Amino acid sequence: MSEELTIFDDIEFCVVGYFKRYIQSFRKLLGNRVVDVLLHMPSRVVEKVYLDSLSREYIGKIVTAKIKVDCVDAGARRTSSVVVYGRSGAVPVEIRLFNYKKYYARRAYRPNEEVFVSGKLGESMSGMLQFINPEKLKDEDAAELKTGFYNIYPLTAGVTQTGVYSATNNALKILSVASPTEWIPGELIEKNEFPSFYEALRKIHQPKEFVKFQLSAVSRRRICFDELLAEQLALRLANRKTKEGNVVKNEKTLVKKLLNILSFSLTDSQRKVIEEIFADLKSGKPMARLLQGDVGSGKTIVAIITALYVIESGYQCAILAPTEILARQHYAVIGKYLEELGIQIELLTSNDKGKRRKEILNNVENATVKVLVGTHAIIMEKVNFQNLGLVIVDEQHRFGVSQRLRLINKGNFPHVLSMTATPIPRTIVMSLYGDISVSTISEKPIGRKDIITKAIPLMKISSVVDFVKRIIENGQKAYWVCPLIEESEKLQYACVINRFDYLKNYFGDGVAMLHGKMKSAEKQDVFERFKTGDCHILVSTTVVEVGVDVSNASAIIIENAEKFGLAQLHQLRGRVGRSDVQSYCILLYDHGLTEIAKKRLNIMRESADGFFIAEQDLLLRGGGEVLGTKQSGRKTYKTFDMNEPNNQPYLLTLLKQASELATKIVDSDDIKKYETLLKIFSIDSVKDFKQSF
């Protein structure tokens, strides 16, 4: 191993001695860089037994054993596994090595030598005691390593525990010679008794003591702090309130024109949030505002009005949506209004390729296009704006901070409006968005009737089918949501494919299905048919959960409703009730409901209020869970589980410290010192930060 290696080098440098395809599996599990190996945390620590002589009672346990090698059978083909035959005491043992290069195996296991191996003791087909790819302990370490503690890591197919052990050991060696300069200030280190980044990772990956739960170990807390700090820094960079922003101030000609062609008038609540947004835009500081509003409360029109105000001052606007269906819908809805006002809007998804894509990108760059709507494609690809003044992120919690940053960095401190239908408690807002202002649309458009919600056992499905028949006879449409796409051995839930067949038998061609495994063009086609064509029943997975707006859909059937969380049920239910027709939500449940599932279904039947439902959700999951991930729908953290109740008290303290430190760092423009930290946690817009600070 060369001394010039760093933790940002390729993972192949710490997966030595294996075939290429094995390294591929490593990439899939861990990532591409040496440091990613180190950030892969063990799920638990177990005690390891040392045995001078093996016996069958230890089958299934993790043991270290001394083995005298008899012979090595390397097989005939290049890729066949290597089998080492030996004895532990008097008991015969075989060691089977998969994916090993043969010379490597021969060097490690020589006949008549004694070796120490660690791993799970198993049994071969012929009944002999067996190790599969065990860890071979170095002689000099053997005394220390053969007993003590042992990490169990989460794995994917193709990677073994031993593989991870050897990779982490190699990665630690690389880190030890290229250890980064400490970024946590001395007083915080002292207060928390944090070890250094290297020491912490060494203690985590080579445990010397039993760890009760993740954050009970100070080394885990240190790494957790690092991850929180990296995120809090990124959030502050995304919100950059201290910087000078673009002043937007004009006659509102476009906004007035829009209000004239609108077929409805805005609710008081919509007017209020628009005023708050306009005040930000005029202020001269970059806006960082979160717009919360229950499903169907009319956030889209607020976004359009914001965009028009900014466009009139000569800027471009980007609208980011989490799914292609939603991006297309925004493009259609927003496009309809903008077209009447003579403003050019484009859609960019990963399906736009070749000439078409080039044309879009050109028109964005020369500012012919004023509004660009899209999915991740507008972050990832080489999209350049001439003058990006406003970024709107819909269903904001679906995006990580580095994705948002990448889009924001395409402009010069653009204003940012984030929108979400999932109400989020203040603490979670802080951890997700940092210091952000919040506007709330608190009422729905007038004339909306409350959705009637019923919970019905699966046995009575035929009555539900009759009900759907009546809905359709009235010229309305129905969603039918199943948790799975196809049948699964492990999960006994309803699946789209079977339910589609079942309903098709009954309703014929008016039924269509929609799920994530379908091709994009096919999905669009089906969705169009449901929205405006001859399809009346859409059987789908939760792909329809986010933002989809089909106003004459007035019923939604949710199968295995007991499986979904409250927030998700509420989102799904929000697909209906989007016009003044009475709408229905039917929660189909299977037998054997748990107490919590019963309570959830009851709350859904009794309340239509997203904020109340979110609160109840928190209560049901126990007050301790303040930072719940399911609640906010965010991605989980890399180095700790925020849903583990025991972690909660530590997490709140660490988050508070990280958040305060991040503010200090950004205020003092000291960000350069933190580039390595941001890079470690893959917040990879560091290049752009340099320009900003």
Least distance between ligand ADP and beta carbon 295 (Å)? 4
240/531 with CB nearer ligand ADP: 531
Closest CA to 25 of 137, 175, 167: 167
Which does residue 297 touch among ligand ADP, Mg ion, none (CB within 5 to 8 A, set by kind)?
Answer: ligand ADP
Which does residue 296 touch among ligand ADP, Mg ion, none (CB within 5 to 8 A, set by kind)?
Answer: ligand ADP
Amino acid type, 318: A
614/661 with CB nearer ligand ADP: 614
Least distance between Mg ion and beta carbon 335 (Å)? 15
Close Cβ partners of 666 (under 8 Å, ≥ 6 residues apart): 233, 236, 237, 240, 242
Query: Is 99 within 8 Å of 159 (Cβ atoms)?
Result: no
Least distance between ligand ADP and beta carbon 563 (Å)? 23
Write the DSSP symbol of residue 449: P
88/422 with CB nearer Mg ion: 422
Query: Is 191 within 8 Å of 225 (Cβ atoms)?
Result: no
Among 103-111, 183-191, 317-325, 539-547, the segment contacting Mg ion (CB under 5 A): 539-547
For residue 79, what are its two tokens? 């890729």
64/422 with CB nearer ligand ADP: 422
Which does residue 293 touch among Mg ion, ligand ADP, none (CB within 5 to 8 A, set by kind)?
Answer: ligand ADP
Query: Residues 317, 318, 321, 325: is their CA dihedral positive or negative?
Result: positive
226/394 with CB nearer ligand ADP: 394
Least distance between ligand ADP and beta carbon 321 (Å)? 11
Write the DSSP symbol of residue 502: H
Least distance between ligand ADP and beta carbon 343 (Å)? 18
DSSP-assigned states of every residue in 145-210: HSSEEEEE----TT--HHHHHHHHHHHHHHHHHSPPPP-S-HHHHHHHTPPPHHHHHHHHHS--S-
Q: Verify binding: residue 547, Mg ion, rule CB under 5 A.
A: yes
DSSP-assigned states of every residue in 104-160: HHHHH--TT-EEEEEEEEEE-TTS-EEEESPEEEPHHHHHHHSSEEEEE----TT--
Query: Residues 30, 36, 37, 41: is their CA dihedral positive or negative?
Result: negative
Closest CA to 318 of 381, 274, 372, 374: 372
Report the residue number whose CB is nearest to ligand ADP. Answer: 298
Cβ atoms within 10 Å, residue 604: 25
Least distance between ligand ADP and beta carbon 573 (Å)? 12
Least distance between ligand ADP and beta carbon 303 (Å)? 8
Query: Is 206 within 8 Å of 405 (Cβ atoms)?
Result: no
Least distance between ligand ADP and beta carbon 636 (Å)? 26
Least distance between ligand ADP and beta carbon 541 (Å)? 20
For residue 49, what are its two tokens? 């037994």
302/360 with CB nearer ligand ADP: 302
Assign 11 to helix, strand or coil: helix
Q: Which positions lie near ligand ADP, rule CB under 6 A? A: 264, 266-267, 270, 293, 295-301, 421, 445, 547, 549, 551, 578
333/485 with CB nearer Mg ion: 333
Close Cβ partners of 334 (under 8 Å, ≥ 6 residues apart): 300, 303, 304, 307, 319, 345, 371, 373
Close Cβ partners of 162 (under 8 Å, ≥ 6 residues apart): 118, 119, 133, 134, 135
Least distance between ligand ADP and beta carbon 546 (Å)? 9
183/337 with CB nearer ligand ADP: 337
176/265 with CB nearer ligand ADP: 265
HEC states along 527-582?
A: HHHHHHCCCCEEEECHHHCCCCCCCCEEEEEECCHHHCCHHHHHHHHCCCCCCCCC
Measure the CA–CA gap between 191 and 647, rounded to whole angstroms: 19
Closest CA to 654 of 211, 232, 236: 232
Least distance between ligand ADP and beta carbon 267 (Å)? 5
Phi, psi angles (nearest 5°) of residue 448:
-75, 130
296/628 with CB nearer Mg ion: 296
Amino acid type, 11: I
Amino acid type, 114: E
128/262 with CB nearer ligand ADP: 262
Which does residue 445 touch among Mg ion, ligand ADP, none (CB within 5 to 8 A, set by kind)?
Answer: ligand ADP
Report the residue number whose CB is nearest to Mg ion. Answer: 547
188/266 with CB nearer ligand ADP: 266
Measure the CA–CA gap between 311 and 251, rounded to whole angstroms: 12
86/298 with CB nearer ligand ADP: 298
163/445 with CB nearer ligand ADP: 445
DSSP-assigned states of every residue in 403-446: HHHHHHTTSSS-EEEEEESS---HHHHHHHHSS-EEEEE-SPPT
Least distance between Mg ion and beta carbon 548 (Å)? 9
Which does residue 301 touch among Mg ion, ligand ADP, none (CB within 5 to 8 A, set by kind)?
Answer: ligand ADP
Assign 355 to helix, strand or coil: helix
Q: 150 - beta bridge partners? A: 46
Among 437-445, 449-457, 510-518, 543-551, the segment contacting Mg ion (CB under 5 A): 543-551
For residue 112, what are its two tokens? 């008549």
Which does residue 316 touch among Mg ion, ligand ADP, none (CB within 5 to 8 A, set by kind)?
Answer: none
Binding-residue total with Mg ion (CB under 5 A): 1
Least distance between ligand ADP and beta carbon 572 (Å)? 12
Least distance between ligand ADP and beta carbon 569 (Å)? 15
322/445 with CB nearer ligand ADP: 445
Least distance between ligand ADP and beta carbon 322 (Å)? 13
Q: Verify binding: residue 574, Mg ion, rule CB under 5 A.
A: no
Instruction: For the chain, report the end-to-end CA distance as a whole number of angstroms.
Output: 37
Contact positions vs Mg ion (CB under 5 A) = 547
